[in-house]
Amino acid sequence: MEITLRHIDKRFGKVHANADISVTFSEGKIYGVLGENGAGKSTLMKILAGFQPADQGEIVVDGKPREARLHFGPTESIRSGIGMLQQDPLDIASFTVIEDFVYGSGARLTMGLREARKALKIQCQRFGFDLDQESPVSHLTIGQRQQLEIVRLLALGVRVLILDEPTTGISAEQKETLFSTLGLLAHQEGMTILLVSHKLEDVVALCDRVVVLRAGQVVGEREMPATTSELVKMMFAEELPPQSRQAVTLGKKRVALEDVALRGRRVSLEGLHLSLSSGEVVGLAGLDGSGQDLVLRAAAGVIRTARGRVTVDGRDMTGKSYRQFRQAGVAFAAAGRLEEGLIAGLTLTEHVALGMPGALVKWRAAEADTSERLQRFNVRGRPESQVQQLSGGNQQRFLMAIMPANLALLAVEQPTRGLDVDSARWVWTQILARRASGTAVLFSSPDLDEIIQYSDRVIVFFAGRFIELADLSGVSIDDLGHLIGGQFEQANHA
């Protein structure tokens, strides 16, 4: 199926998200759609997938044009063979996996349960995904929710598959299987695959051609192969120098977890001892759902321990609420920005107002404070913008902008999820600035390069087991990958 976008134009108020974009995606190819956060990639893909109308332009599907300003909706787009996996998958938390799979089948709601189970099983086997059909969607990790959405779209028979950051939260083996399958779908079955990704190594490994957007316009296209440096230069019009990480002298102990036991829906941890000192960065590595999410939330007071003690600056915080942890100088930033970090439907000013003291909100002061934060943290948005209208990168910037100052602990889950290279560097500049001022940092990431680059120590998790790597000087990415796969029988447990 060949897709041509002609003169696509879209504005959100004063923001010109797509400016007269024309591009063709041929069948049987895998395209990388690249650009910095806010470049207009997701907007363009949502227009193609029917999630929002353009202001003008047309979409030509196999020679049949339709006006892009007419809102056909995602159901009609799927019927025409176009489906999209968004960065935050669309699902219903109260449903089980099989219920969500059947419900998402649209016109096939009459599908029998036995038929649906068989279809889901077949699609999961194609990708090597392991989804418990009876598990509630609310119990799934972000990576598993993405997997469910991928297999649902393929079961619907889409011929153009748009993937927005599909490798977040899946293992190296699952990614290899996914890439192999996408290659077969494109090169042997003639599907058109559009990959929106900030992981340039994925683009280099998978794509046949790239289309690069900047400030809402197509600024370049090229056939692959290309190096990551060449792609960065196309995206930003210049090469980015390496980011330095200065040494910081560690100070007093800020946070400690002593003989802690944690209970999760899919994994439990026993006998965890972890302390973090002022100026220290500790990385948590492991396959999605291996236990690192529990540790982050326990250290920040989001969940309570089943056993053990949690202290912040020597104060016993065991069993206390997240609000009390915040008052003690602890902040948590979740990977699901709109699920746990920010509130869809609220404006940026209203988010800032929530953190202001007092029972009455001084709205002029809140708006002025918001404007200052947006400028200081380079957030592309306005005080009156609703937070869900921001791109993923700008949501992350705004989340950092509303974090309290002078923290004892900053706990961050996947701090660069869905961010371009420059935005990821910016986020780490902010985190390391807090580290330099005495904050202890605890973070998780599926990006092993990120774990190695920024951590002073690393704790690796696998199926409820864990090991601490106190000296990273001789640890390679391959070494860390093997440990994440559970190959640490000979090592000392944390």
Q: Is the pLDDT of residue 376 over 80?
A: yes
**Of 112 and 492, which is predicted with more confidence?**
112
Q: Is the pLDDT of residue 121 over 80?
A: yes
Structure tokens at 13: 């108020």
Structure tokens at 444: 């998780």
Co-location of 52 and 178 in the same domain: yes
Co-location of 222 and 288 in the same domain: no
Co-location of 39 and 124 in the same domain: yes
pLDDT band (50, 70, 90) for residue 34? very high
- Looking at residue 239, its pLDDT comes to 76
User: Residue 274 burial by CB count (10 A; 0-12/13-18/19+): exposed, middle or buried?
Assistant: buried
Range of the domain at 271: 253-329+404-484
Q: Is the pLDDT of residue 489 over 60?
A: no
pLDDT band (50, 70, 90) for residue 3? very high
CATH number at residue 25: 3.40.50.300
Q: Domain end: 204, 236, 268, which one?
A: 236
Mean pLDDT score, 261-267: 89
pLDDT band (50, 70, 90) for residue 156? confident
User: Residue 72 burial by CB count (10 A; 0-12/13-18/19+): exposed, middle or buried?
Assistant: middle
- Looking at residue 76, its pLDDT comes to 86
Q: Is the pLDDT of residue 252 over 90?
A: yes
Contact 339, 357 (CB under 8 A): no
pLDDT band (50, 70, 90) for residue 107? very low
- Looking at residue 113, its pLDDT comes to 84
> How open is the CA angle 456-458-464, to the nearest 5 degrees?
160
Q: How many domains does the chain have?
A: 2
- Looking at residue 493, its pLDDT comes to 42
Co-location of 205 and 75 in the same domain: yes
- Looking at residue 123, its pLDDT comes to 87
- The model's pTM is 0.73
Co-location of 176 and 82 in the same domain: yes
Q: Is the pLDDT of residue 174 over 90?
A: no
Q: Is the pLDDT of residue 491 over 70?
A: no
In a domain, 463, yes or no: yes
Mean pLDDT score, 408-415: 95
Mean pLDDT score, 83-102: 87
